[in-house]
Amino acid sequence: MKDCITLAHGSGGKAYRELVERVFAPAFQNEYLAPLTDAAVCPGSGRIALTTDGYVVTPLFFPGGDIGRLAVSGTVNDLAVSGAIPRYLTVGMVLETGLPVETLQRVVRSMADTAAEAGVQIVTGDTKVVEAGGCSGIYLTTAGVGLFPEGMEIPPQRPEAGDAIVTSGRIGSHGMAVMAARHSLAFDPAIESDVRPMARAVRAVLDAGCIVRAMRDPTRGGVAGTLSEWAGTRLDITLEEEALPVRADVRDACAILGIDPLYVANEGVVLFSLPAKDAERAVAALRTQTGCEQAAVIGRVSDGRGSVFAKTRIGTFRRILPPSGEQLPRIC
Amino acid sequence: MNSIEVLSRKIESLADGLPPTTIMEVCGTHTHAIRRYGVRQLLPKQVRLVSGPGCPVCVTAQEDVARALALARLPNVTLFCFGDMMRVPCGTASLSSLRADGADVRICVSPMDAFEFAREHPLREVVWFGVGFETTTPHTAALIEAGIRSGVKNLSILCAHKTMPNALRALLGGETRVDALLCPGHVAAITGADAFAFLPEEYGISAAISGFEPEELLLAIFALLKMQASGTPKLVNAYPRVVNPAGNPAARSLVETYFEPCDALWRGLGEISSSGLSLRPAFAKWDAGARFSMEPVAAVPASGCRCGDVLRGRIEPNECALFGQACTPEQPLGACMVSSEGACAAYYQYEGAGI
Amino acid sequence: MCLAIPGRITAIEQEEAVIDYGGTTRRASIRLLPDAAVGDTVLVHAGFVIQKLDPESGAELEALLKEIESL
């Protein structure tokens, strides 16, 4: 018989313990998880950052990543952009009966690898099993704790007029990779997601002495979503469309599918709003980091009325509205 | 000086001596490109660009959308459509909301995806919701041809395809404020430039076939103004790298094999004679309407909606009382707000800030 | 309507062409342009090659301008 998840794995009995010992414990191995008690007890002091997020992406595996890497990166990035140093993660899993244990193992290994890459530890978890049709393979919920070292400035998350907008790298890759995989769009080579933990890249900018007024990982809603929120009601943000770094395959896919990369989700990008004088230093610091080689200044912040504009290649302006609804391929 | 500057200067000096001129574009992708590149910001005040009925999503009749929804609700049906159609509302539902409720609705980039799926899933009834103008209809014809060649039994077409010339005739024959027409470059790639020759000949209106880059749009607009200035309306092909006089004969003959002209309902404009395509009687078994017995649906247009006036170039989107209030891209009431290519949606998106 | 994107044909197998868009490639049907050949620059709409692009288009703008000026 194929080695699959059954309702017994969720019962808390023998099958569950076997799953923990065979799949989870070896992958996530660390001193806080090892006792396998109800709560992990971890060191830390001062202010903490705490975040949580759910992951329901289909397909579970897509070029460049999978739901496990996505869950760890997403939570690490939420912590990192708060200015905290990500430390501990928890993971809750909802598994569908019939899921091959081998698939679960791949996801778990990917989570462990990504956690190691980000310098965080997965310290506790939970597993529930639902009947077939109750979820699509695996749903993950992660929570994360980050620490603010003594004396560290916490970014106010408030852009100011005169700031420059910096992207850590090329935009739109993750959303297009998932869309291509979900709709079997058969680009060749396949469009790869850039999903990755960005904690080290954020740290590089802070360590370079840049004053960071705001940072955000522009996931759902893309760059347009983040900038619209930043513009609020009293600022305008103007992008230089030609300065926006977009990978050539992503640019092509967006053109073919009629999608604006500004609205596409990212999972390995951080946007910064910082004083213009610090912008080039931030870009230089970012470019030393893996995945940030194309970091660039892409716009500026001014006093205004809450609008985002893009200056086009012909010198005109178009308005970037807040995102509404899911991005879908179009033909007209 | 780059070509944008050259063209905008030429347009400006030419427009100086002209009365206010209204140019209508009848292609959703033109609407999009004009807003996308802020082309209006380069034009003098006397030149007004308006969007006509060129977005297939917008002009697809509510009745046709209702039929698509009815088909998608059938448990054994997988409905394929372009992503554009997903959010078109009909009553309180859309294909997108039906999919969320469990209906098998799939977005494809090519109609041939429906064929592949039908072959791989012989127990599903696969329906292709065909919308679009001359550029897209050949794809549906190719799908039927593939179906016939392979002998698949579980594929059918919900046909809402439309044709441009008679819609333009209906538009120009009635009350309109349009002085010149920007003709759709990719429709012309199939029909050939000659298909638009009737515009100057029958209606004495200047027409220019345009591409989709800002340079190409400015060039076509310049050509239109030049003809306005000289008082000699003609058809200019300002997109010759793609459009030739005869178009694409293979595509056209494929369409003629399977389709014949029919009267069609246009959302916002009503019924226009010989402006749609239906399957020829010999291919009736490919018609989803015939295969599944469906109750006819009557749609009630939103009260106060002035999409008909917008599509005829009589008013700007923001002159409609519903615009931006009761009717927004999130909750569209009228045809022109439905797709991002629609005149009202594009206006809302790109000019809302008054730049 | 009609979003159509130019690309170059790099291979043809029966009724399908491989189109190179510069940054990625994707297959498209050549059923609507049966005489399409490897090396052609073509316009692709909704999975089908719909027209061949004129290779002489480089100097086009200037020539067109001249033509339009004389209208």
pLDDT at position B353 is 40
Task: Calculate mean pLDDT across residues A240-259.
Answer: 96
Cα–Cα dist B146/B140, whole Å: 10
With CA atoms as reference, the chain A residue closest to C44 would be A256
Count of pairs with CB atoms under 8 A, one residue in B, one in C: 116
Containing domain of residue C43, as a range? 5-69
Containing domain of residue A15, as a range? 7-147
Q: Per the structure block, which two tokens stand in for B316? A: 């700007």
Query: A141 - beta bridge partners?
Result: A54, A92
Q: Kindly state whether residue A315 falls inside one of the protein's structural domains.
A: yes
With CA atoms as reference, the chain C residue closest to B241 would be C54
Whole-angstrom distance between the N-terminal and C-terminal Cα of chain B? 24
**Residue B100, phi then psi, degrees to nearest 5:** -60, -30
Q: Are A123 and A182 within one domain?
A: no
Is it the case that residue A1 has pLDDT exceeding 80?
no
Q: Does B268 touch chain C (CB under 8 A)?
A: no
Is it the case that residue A153 has pLDDT exceeding 50?
yes
Provide the domain count of chain C: 1
Which positions of chain B have pLDDT values less than 70? 1, 350-355
Structural domains present in chain B: 57-163+249-291 (3.40.50.11740)
Task: Calculate mean pLDDT across residues C43-65.
Answer: 85
CATH of the domain at A276: 3.90.650.10
Q: Are A239 and A128 within one domain?
A: no
Q: Are A213 and A290 within one domain?
A: yes
Q: Kindly state whether residue A183 falls inside one of the protein's structural domains.
A: yes
Q: Kindly state whether residue A2 falls inside one of the protein's structural domains.
A: no
Q: What is the dihedral of CA A112, A118, A121, A122, to 10 degrees?
A: -50
Which residues of chain B does C59 touch, with a Cβ-Cβ cutoff of 8 Å?
none
CATH of the domain at C36: 2.30.30.140
Cα–Cα dist B162/C67, whole Å: 33
Partner-chain residue, chosen from B110, B135, B241, that has the shortest CB–CB distance to C47: B110
A55-100 residue pLDDT tens: 999 999 999 999 999 999 999 999 999 999 999 999 999 999 999 9
Q: What angle do CA B353, C2, C5 make, to 5 degrees?
A: 95
Is it the case that residue A238 has pLDDT exceeding 90?
yes
Query: Which strands make up the sheet holding A48-55, listed edge to edge?
Result: A48-55, A138-147, A85-96, A121-130
Q: Are A38 and A175 within one domain?
A: no
Interface of B with C in 224-263 (CB under 8 A): 226-227, 230, 232, 234, 236, 238, 240-243, 248, 250-251, 254
Q: Kindly state whether residue A329 falls inside one of the protein's structural domains.
A: no
Q: Kindly state whether residue A330 falls inside one of the protein's structural domains.
A: no
pLDDT at position B331 is 82
Query: Which strands make up the sheet holding B21-25, listed edge to edge?
Result: B47-51, B21-25, B180-184, B206-210, B235-237
Asked if B352 lies within 8 A of A321 by C-beta distance, the reply is yes
Task: Calculate mean pLDDT across residues A148-170.
Answer: 94
Cα–Cα dist B347/B329, whole Å: 11
pLDDT band at residue C58 using 50, 70 and 90 as cut-offs: low
**pTM of full prediction above 0.90:** yes
Count of pairs with CB atoms under 8 A, one residue in A, one in B: 79
Q: Are A142 and A167 within one domain?
A: no
Q: Are A127 and A223 within one domain?
A: no
CATH of the domain at A89: 3.30.1330.10
Higher-pLDDT residue of A112 and A12 is A112
Q: Are A124 and A269 within one domain?
A: no
| B192 to chain A, closest Cα gap in Å | 19
Q: Which residue, among B335, C12, C54, B27, has the nearest Cα to A331 in the 3D structure? A: B27
Q: Kindly state whether residue A28 falls inside one of the protein's structural domains.
A: yes
Cα–Cα dist A279/A164, whole Å: 6
Question: CB-side exposure of B231: number of CA atoms within 13 Å?
Answer: 2
| B349 to chain A, closest Cα gap in Å | 6
Q: Kindly state whether residue A135 falls inside one of the protein's structural domains.
A: yes
CA distances in angstroms from A214 to A231, A281, B105, listed in the order given = 12, 16, 40
Asked if A255 lies within 8 A of C21 by C-beta distance, the reply is yes
Provide the domain count of chain A: 2
A116-132 residue pLDDT tens: 999 999 999 999 999 99
Best of C2, C24, C26 to disrupt the B interface (most B CBs within 10 Å) is: C2
Return the partners of chain C (3 or more C-beta pairs < 8 Å). A, B
Is it the case that residue C40 has pLDDT exceeding 80?
yes
Q: Are A172 and A298 within one domain?
A: yes
Q: Kindly state whether residue A156 falls inside one of the protein's structural domains.
A: no
